[in-house]
């Protein structure tokens, strides 16, 4: 994101998603439901889209796409 010039928008991203992944980088299913994680990420992307383009709809469909492809 930094290379795209969007790094400033993600300063608090790690803190907002803290606990989603273990020290080994694997998603922590025992601490957070994947559905909730995908929803949180979509909200963060909508926030960035609202700031950058004035329209959060640029991020619409993210959660559905992720759950369809990776939700198991």
CA–CA separation, 52 and 9 (whole Å): 9
More confident residue, 14 or 68: 68
pTM check: above 0.75:
no
The token duo for 1 is 């994101």
pLDDT of residue 14: 64
Quick one: average pLDDT of 9-17? Answer: 67
Question: What is the rounded CA–CA span in Å between residue 70 and residue 68?
Answer: 6
Q: For the chain, what percent of residues have pLDDT higher than 70?
A: 76
């Amino acid at each position: 994101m930094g290379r795209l010039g969007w790094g400033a928008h993600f300063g608090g991203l790690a803190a907002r998603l803290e606990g989603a992944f273990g020290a080994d980088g694997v998603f922590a299913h025992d601490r957070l439901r994947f559905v909730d994680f995908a929803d949180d990420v979509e909200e963060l992307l909508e926030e960035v889209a609202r700031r950058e383009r004035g329209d959060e709809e640029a991020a619409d469909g993210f959660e559905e796409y992720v759950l369809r492809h990776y939700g198991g």
